[in-house]
Amino acid sequence: MRVARYGAGRTNQKFYFCKIALEQCEAAVDDAHKQAHYEAAVFHLHGAFLAFLQELSRFYKLSPQLVTTEAIRLALEAKGQVSPEISQLQAVETHDAWLGQLQKMFFEYQLAVDPIEPQPEAELPDSLIVRVVTMSEEPALDITRVQTWYKQLQRLITDFRQEMVEF
């Protein structure tokens, strides 16, 4: 079986981008750059998960637009099929499990932070620039946690790919 047949290249590319973002996050010297690279790592890692769902959809000959484990499960159920990969993914997608935490963080970064009362910049009183969010309001960066999620997702996908063989 050729893994590339199911679109594994995109998943691998997202893993690579995540790795680069994590390296840049560790090397960044100021908070803004650290935050930017940290969020990029989370986005790319979540993108790797979504790309793998497309791989699964292609493997099971479903629409690659199915981008949730539940949508894939329901589509397979309609065909009278069951996916062990989807069952395992759904088990680690719960709120307390690592994949659920990754998804939660991804979606939190999609939302705008509740603004504080806008205040003009002190050094530019006549300026139209208004500080709405300060870096201290951002959640603490936990690079080790994202690195752990990276390893867990990569290991899980590698194991799944070894089992995804057509006979």
Q: What is the pLDDT of residues 112-154, one digit of tens each?
A: 777 666 666 556 555 555 555 554 455 578 999 999 999 999 9
All structural domains of the chain with their residue ranges: 3-163
The radius of gyration of the chain's CA atoms, rounded to the nearest angstrom, is 20
With tokens 């050094």, the residue in question is 123
Task: Quote the pTM value.
Answer: 0.80
Q: Give the H or E element holding residue 76.
A: helix 69-78
With tokens 């709405």, the residue in question is 132
Residue 127 tokens read as 């300026």
Half-sphere exposure of 46 toward its Cβ, with a 13 Å CA cutoff? 20
Residue 84 tokens read as 């062990």
Task: Tell me what pLDDT residue 113 has.
Answer: 73
With tokens 């603490």, the residue in question is 140
